[in-house]
Structure 1
Amino acid sequence: MAIEKIQAIRGMSDMLPEDAPLWHFFEKEASSLAKLYGYQHIRTPIVEQTRLFKRGIGEVTDIVEKEMYSFVDSLNGDELSLRPENTASVVRACIEHNLLYEGPKRLWYMGPMFRHERPQRGRYRQFHQFGMEAMGFKGPDTDAEQLLMLNRLWKRLGIAPVRLELNCLGQLEDRKAYREVLIQYFEAHKDILDEDASRRLYSNPLRILDTKNPDMQDLVNNAPKLYDSLGEESKQFLADLEAILKAEGIDYVVNPRLVRGLDYYNLTVFEWVTDKLGAQGTICGGGRYDPLIGMLGGRDAPACGFAMGIERVLELMKECGVKPESRECDVYVVWDKALYLNALSAAERLRDADIATIIHSGSMKFGNQMKRADASGALYALVIGADEAAAGKVGLKALRENLEGYGEQKTLTIDEAVSLLGQHV
């Protein structure tokens, strides 16, 4: 009787070794950039109390209503959820551990999130985000710095240019006034509203502006503009932000339809968009959320941040032909029969010097071993043959055309080999 194979849950994918170089390249560049700008690493639990997200994201949202993986802990009755995003968790951690007591904080994170939505290219039910939160910083200079940082990241990843879309949501009072204007406008065109728009008309009318329904595009394009409802301080904040971006040569467009439907968002909102991934072109979104810390029980403090779906960014990197160097090891050790202990001793000396090393396992024919060494992507083959062992030495052969002495084999002591490899790997 055949045993049924168990497969991964739909929308939750494995990262296979062939994909690892792209992931590692992204992780290295993102984390080093965070350090470059003075951001500190924070990790939060994957599971949080459901009410954190209901309060932090909002109960009248698709995420909370349709997409969260929520459950009741059978051991104590707690209502828990797998985190669908990480900003609320980072804010919770800041409040719980009083991180802002000594002053503002720049924080970054990277890890898995969970949403029960229809899987599609670059969008999964378990997906990964890289994000940054700057807490305690009030001015547009912090918003601008994050945009400069992202522009630098796209260049490092080899996916520039990516289009920056920008808008200003104003403050809560600005949006309350705009909300009333918007409701009146859409009430006059109820016959055009689709089911989602009708449902959001009184609970979250700003989200109607974000509709992808082609039958509603003329309606939302002709809707009153949020900018006309902004107060002078909000308009000045946007002007100051734009001035910094222009001074630094960052291209952008102001998109009046770019909104967030939740009350804790204010002032800056932005997205980075590409045309290379089809309809789902946003790879990064963020903005300012000054009221959120107070809404979650902390002392009021300004904040802004962003998050990007890593899988989406990796898809774009593939589209742009980014292929990071991939190799299993730096040195591949080939050895003659009965000389395994000699090979093991040499490999351990290399590893002592932090040189990634694989010892051949399998066929003992030197030709097959060298083919495997080449296939591994190793820069060098370390040869332990009978002649080398008798002389107390090793053979070292460069396997890549860009290396000095390519194709030649040198006979060296292990100390000499370690020294030479330390300069080239």
Structure 2
Amino acid sequence: MTTTRFAPSPTGYIHVGNLRTALMNYLIARKAGGTFILRIDDTDPERSKEEYVDAIKRDLEWLGLHWDKVERQSERLDRYAEAADKLREMGRFYEAFETPTELDLKRKKQLNMGKPPVYDRAALNLSDAEKDALRAERGNGVWRFKLDHERIEWTDGILGDISIDAASVSDPVLIRGDGQVLYTIASVVDDTEMGVTDVVRGSDHVTNTATQIQIIEALGGQCPRFAHHSLLTGPQGEALSKRLGTLALRDLREQGLQPMALLSLMARLGSSDPVELRSDMAELIEGFDVNRFGAAPTKFDVQDLFPLTAKHLQSLPLTDVADAVEDAGVPADLAEPFWAMARENITTLADLKGWWELCRDGAEPLIADEDREFIAEAVALLPDGPFDGETWGTWTKAVKEATGRKGKGLFMPLRKALTGMERGPEMAALLPLLQVIRARG
């Protein structure tokens, strides 16, 4: 059975880059009728916060990305310890004691000699006495996985055939000196024991994948299918990493962006398929194919989400937005005609409040000097209320006959006088709301 996972670290809020990974894994699982795991990678006790765990769940629920089960790495430390012991017994795990400064000097020396800046495995030559002396001087060392120096190859679901020479990669640190288990081994143990069949993540993990394949094989596990999606850039191709803090999902939610707009964009962005607004999750699932995504950096512009949100809102019945209409202050008996009037003229639901204020309080008339007599004559012809959907047509016909005005010269001054704006909803729909509110006052 297909099993995927989304594995955020609870050290901050989910942003659009994380969402891409979460969505792809979710859609793969759902399309195959499989399992989607939310795995909280909280092995860092210093930086992991429960408030971020709650925020991650809240964001996923807002988007409709419902998980089948939750796993927490902090509850599986004994499993990682067992895997580490197994690697030690196999001679694939060794302790190293270099300081960051010493490692930096080694890298610089290798680069000056034209060699790849990889760890030189000096720790493998330490005697037990030398290790004891270093521990006494520096504390516990880090534990590195000893790579087999051969080519590591796999067929990537997005990047195609990948081949990496393990000799060009440093033996990865799997456990820090303070005992903290790092992502590289924890993820391998989890993916193996949880039966994860497909892993989609960013292209910055390609080297991690190479080393993890060897760790999986050393521990006797089955390698999942890997796919590495491109990284997002800003609209001009600039690095997005420095702006991700302002692109947290909770911030996008507070701006009034709709989940289906965000999901529709992310489900196609960077693929060979055009971005199309989808009406529900079932459509997204049906149309998703990870193999249609490309390797090139993918431009993301948050402004693209606003027209998609507007289009999505236009398709919704009142029942889907009833709370927002009520929150704007609209009385229940006017909710239906108000939503029918406003839906085509909002970008986010927050815009409803402004339209209701216009209906309730009216607007400062916008009247050009040359139109003052015309407006006065037109107002005198305004029939008694209450108004309905036919009133605007009846009234403007009478004004046309009385004044001889027609077309834009007729309709635009009337709109500006009633709404203070040059454009907006159909006046036939707006006028009854304006009159009803005034009649109530």
> TM-score, with normalisation over the residues of structure 1?
0.25
Q: Which has the larger radius of gyration?
A: 2
Which has the larger share of strand? 1
Which has the larger share of helix? 2
> TM-score, with normalisation over the residues of structure 2?
0.24
